[in-house]
Structures are given as structure tokens and as C-alpha cells.
Structure 1
Amino acid sequence: MHDLYKFPKMPGLAAALGALALFVFAGAAEAANPLELNFWLSGPRYDGRLKPCEAALSTITSQFQEKESTYWNSSLRITSYGQIHEIAFRPWQSDDIPRRYCGGEVMLSDGKMHKVYYSLIEDGGFASFGQGVEWCVTGLDRNWAYNPACRAAGP
């Protein structure tokens, strides 16, 4: 059977007609009503009150041991810390989430020393409750989350 209605193939023309129809038949943009104007949206209120660097060491110790045993089938543990110091506090704009960046050294159960870099984050805990901790032990960032050499864990 023959096709009685043949149209030339013009994809560019079809796209142009579709865009024109979108603008012609679309409704006008309206301003926000009073209930949509930041009603109860006060925004985050960060106080910048973060614990000192030493407060995160127990969290790092337990998370390191859990990560090594669960994901890497390793019995490595952190046995001691040394030279813990603050690297930066809120190094960016004051509107950013407050962080305290710290560094130091760790002694592992295999007798080797490694550098550790970590940050304490205001409202960075589970479901934004409490302070969160992000950390990296150089040489043991096996999934390269903070590569190279844990530089991404710092400011």
C-alpha cells in the first residue's frame, strides 16, 4: 500500500516548532506568594563551637580499627598518638560549615609511624547531630578517598 501523505524529514524544523509551542502554550511565570517567601526558612545557624583536636582521637581509633578489619581484613590498630596540633580553623568564609583541621602522628600495632590528618565538623555527625570527624592515615588510604597522601583531608 502506498503512503498518500509523505512529509519531508526535517528534524531541525520539528525541534524549532516544538520549542515555539512550548513558549506559546506555557503559562506566565508568577512571583512567589507570601507563604513561599522564606517562611520559616531561617537557614543554618553555625556557632563555630568545636571541640579541641584531642577530642576526636577516640573516634578515629575506633573507626580505623573497624575499617581495617571489616573492609581490608587487617588486624592493624592505632596504639598511640603524638604531636597532635591544629592546622586551621574555619579557613574559608564565615558562612561555610565550621571545621577544625588537625594533624599528628599515629603509632600502629605493626610498630610503624604514620601521619594522620582529620577534621572536626560542626553538625557533621549522623543525621546532622553532634560533631562529625573525617580522617585519613597516610599510607593506609587504600580506597584513595583522600589521595594523594591524604592531602584532600586537609584545608
Structure 2
Amino acid sequence: MTDFARPLLRSLCGAALALALALPAAAGEQPYFSWNGDPRVPECEAMSVQGAVIGHIAGADPVYSGGLKIREMHRITETGYKVDQPSPYARRYCEARAQMSDGRERRVYYAIMEHSGFVGVSWNLQACVAGVDPWRVYDANCRTVRPY
């Protein structure tokens, strides 16, 4: 590659990355970056959040989770929203009913956290399915991802 082509390729890659980050994930959704202002984190019902919860649970070690996966989420509600308590970053706490791969319905709790995404640019979450935390990673009854 010539010395002229390298800077041009870097510029094109940077522009493509910026464009990809600026485009919505799906039609009707907006990207959630910290410099956009309100809302600081997406709503509990957002499809991008539901997908992240399902992916988070699916990514758990099968030994830990018993191989359970979420098939569908419904009855989604926000249970809390905190800013400056104690962190300056926003946290939205949510609860939903999840239809699991074993046919049972279980409660799923999740916390959406500002500045927790890749290099702190966007949001991320932690999720816990009640009754499927044998090592108490999220404390008893998913307490660490709940607002109480």
C-alpha cells in the first residue's frame, strides 16, 4: 500500500465508523450517546434493550444458567430511575416477565447504565432471571440489578 493510500483508507474507515454509530439500530429508534442529552438511557421497552437482555442471558455459561434462554419478554415496566445516587451516571431499572426455553415464565430484572458501552460511549446493561442465579452473582433475588 502506498503512503498516499494509507491516510485515505484511514479517513474512509473513520467516516464509515462514525456513520455506523450515528445511524439508528432499527427504524424508529435513535442512538443513545451520552452527548445527546435526554433520554440519557433508553426506555425499558426499547427493542434494542430487549435484544440486549436476551443476548446477555443467552451469553451466560450453560453450566451456570442450566442452558435456559429467553424466548419472549412481556409486561415490561420501569421500576426505578436514578441519577447522582451515588454515581453521576443515569441508571434505569426494569422488570419484565420472560417466557423461557423450558416453557416456564420467570421474572427478569435488568439495569440499563449510562456510559457502560464500548469505551464508555453508550449504554449497557446487567440482567438477571429470578431463580436462575445459583451462584448468586446478582445476590439473592437479583438484588443488585433492582433499585431497592
The Cα shift of 1:129 comes to 2.0
The Cα shift of 1:94 comes to 8.3
5 Å-filtered alignment, 1:6-155, equals: 47=37, 49-55=40-46, 56-69=49-62, 71-72=63-64, 74-90=66-82, 93=85, 96-155=88-147
Q: Which amino acid letter does the alignment assign opposite residue 51 of structure 2?
A: S
CA distance in 2, matches of 1:95, 1:79: 33
Partner of 2:13: none
The Cα shift of 1:92 comes to 5.3
Which is higher, the Rg of structure 1 or of structure 2?
1
Partner of 1:39: none
CA distance in 2, matches of 1:46, 1:60: 23
The Cα shift of 1:123 comes to 0.7
CA distance in 1, matches of 2:135, 2:118: 22
Structure 1 unaligned blocks of 5 or more: 1-43
After TM superposition, the score normalised by the length of structure 2 is 0.65
The Cα shift of 1:115 comes to 0.7
The Cα shift of 1:68 comes to 4.0
**What RMSD over aligned residues (CA atoms) do the two structures have, in Å?**
2.5
The Cα shift of 1:130 comes to 1.0
Q: SS at 1:97's partner residue? A: coil
Percent identity of equivalent pairs: 27
After TM superposition, the score normalised by the length of structure 1 is 0.62
Tell me the matched-pair count.
111
When residues 91 and 57 of structure 1 are mapped into structure 2, their CA distance, relative to the original with a 3 A threshold, is: same
Higher relative contact order (CA 8 A, sep 6+): 2
The Cα shift of 1:78 comes to 0.6
Q: SS at 1:149's partner residue? A: helix
Structure 2 unaligned blocks of 5 or more: 1-33
CA distance in 2, matches of 1:73, 1:154: 19
